[in-house]
Amino acid sequence: MTASKFGTTAASSTRTTSHAPLCRCKTSFISTSNRGGNANFLGDNVLGRSQRTEAGVESLRATLEQGIPDGVRFLLTAHGVDKRRGFWKFIEKTAAVRVCDRIDTSRDDWQDQVATLVTTRARTLGLRFEPDALAVFVLLAGEQSQQIGNELEKLDIYLGPDRRTITEEDVNVLVPLSRAAIVFEIGKAIQHGNAARAIQLIDQQLAADESAIGIMRASIISVVRNLYMAKLIVGKFKIPTGNYPAFAGGLNRLPANDRAWLPQKKDGSGVNVFPIFLALPNAANFDLEGLQSVMEATLKADQALVTTGLDHRLILHRLIVEITAARKNSN
């Protein structure tokens, strides 16, 4: 989780990873993990709390406090660190710590985090995404940084030096379809009013033993909620919607009371903007009253899946028809 370079008295640089051994250094200075990397001496577990482990960690701390000779680099990596412990507080004060925790896809703002990571890495390759292409890429490539890097390299080679803008078609051609992408495709079909396509994808998921409740929570509720919030934002606030940075900045500059009802990032750094921004174009194809009815229908369908013995497939089919019927000029 952390990596540190200590000078004679203090740290000068630190790097954090998720799955590396606990300690390494260029010289044979110290190692506090087993060869398989399965032992974690800094975690809140039986091994980390044992007297022998605590004594060893404190001995390491005392050695580092005394200073390491010039030219010696001390690298510390770990996962699941108990940040309440004195050793961690010592590391935070004396080393430059970088946390590289894996993005948690169970959090509401995971797409925003991945989108930021993707655009940053793409920029280093001289690439830029069209908005729809970025949304598809995020869901196809997922949260794994190595996978993101691999897919960006493929796109870089595919486009060549003369074309540097990535389109949705480019992403669909090169990036393989994943479960997350199917979830996205269901939501996309719903927003476009394509009930037949949405129902086809839902039936495929059900045939693959996916839970109807899981489909509802992942593919339908989030789409309906984002459409509703996007419609309210456009109607209530004068915020630029032409590009993501302007939209995100506008939302986060609103008074606290005006954005309290919007979904917030778990770290408290602002509104979880990305899913709402993606819903903006399609929200224009719904009336606010229609979306309110859709929200109520979605709630009833979700309750029916959980509390009744009605056929789950039929519940989802009926809801899809209701949602797409609320769209202007639905297919």
The mean pLDDT of 257-263, rounded to a whole number, is 85
User: Are residues 299 and 199 both part of a single domain?
Assistant: yes
User: Are residues 275 and 309 both part of a single domain?
Assistant: yes
Q: Which range is least confidently modeled, 11-20, 239-248, 304-313?
A: 11-20
Query: CA quadruple 264, 270, 275, 278: dihedral positive or negative?
Result: positive
Highest average pLDDT, of 11-25, 31-45, 170-184, comes from 170-184
* 197, part of any domain: yes
Domain boundary among 34, 62, 94: 94
* 60, part of any domain: yes
User: Are residues 78 and 124 both part of a single domain?
Assistant: no
* 294, part of any domain: yes
The mean pLDDT of 136-140, rounded to a whole number, is 82
Q: What is the pLDDT of residues 161-175, one digit of tens each?
A: 999 999 989 998 888
* 206, part of any domain: yes
Domain boundary among 94, 120, 143: 94
Q: What pLDDT, on the 0 to 100 scale, is given for residue 178?
A: 64
| CATH number of the domain encompassing residue 170 | 1.10.8.60
**In 86-169, beta strands by DSSP E:** 128-129, 165-166
Highest average pLDDT, of 1-10, 98-107, 139-148, comes from 139-148
Report DSSP letters for 3-26, one per residue. Answer: -EEE-SSSEEEE---SSS-SEEES
Collapsed DSSP state (helix, strand, coil) of residue 166: strand
At CB < 8 A and 24+ separation, what contacts does 10-13 make?
10/94, 10/95, 11/91, 11/94, 11/95, 11/96, 12/96, 13/95, 13/96
User: Are residues 136 and 241 both part of a single domain?
Assistant: no
pLDDT top residue among 25 and 55: 55
Q: How confident is the model at residue 75 (pLDDT cuts 50, 70, 90)?
A: confident
Q: What pLDDT, on the 0 to 100 scale, is given for residue 323?
A: 95
* 179, part of any domain: no
User: Are residues 17 and 79 both part of a single domain?
Assistant: yes
Total count of domains within the chain: 3
- CA-to-CA distance for 12 and 267, rounded, in angstroms? 27
Q: What is the pLDDT of residues 192-227, one digit of tens each?
A: 999 999 999 999 889 988 899 989 988 899 899 999
Q: How confident is the model at residue 39 (pLDDT cuts 50, 70, 90)?
A: low
Full-prediction pTM beyond 0.95?
A: no
Q: What pLDDT, on the 0 to 100 scale, is given for residue 180?
A: 64
User: Are residues 205 and 289 both part of a single domain?
Assistant: yes
Domain boundary among 69, 94, 119: 94
User: Are residues 289 and 263 both part of a single domain?
Assistant: yes
User: Are residues 160 and 211 both part of a single domain?
Assistant: no
pLDDT top residue among 11 and 318: 318
* 184, part of any domain: no
User: Are residues 128 and 26 both part of a single domain?
Assistant: no
| CATH number of the domain encompassing residue 275 | 1.20.272.10
Report whether pLDDT(243) > 90: no
pLDDT top residue among 319 and 23: 319
The mean pLDDT of 33-62, rounded to a whole number, is 70
Its domain, for residue 9, covers 4-94
Q: What pLDDT, on the 0 to 100 scale, is given for residue 267?
A: 66
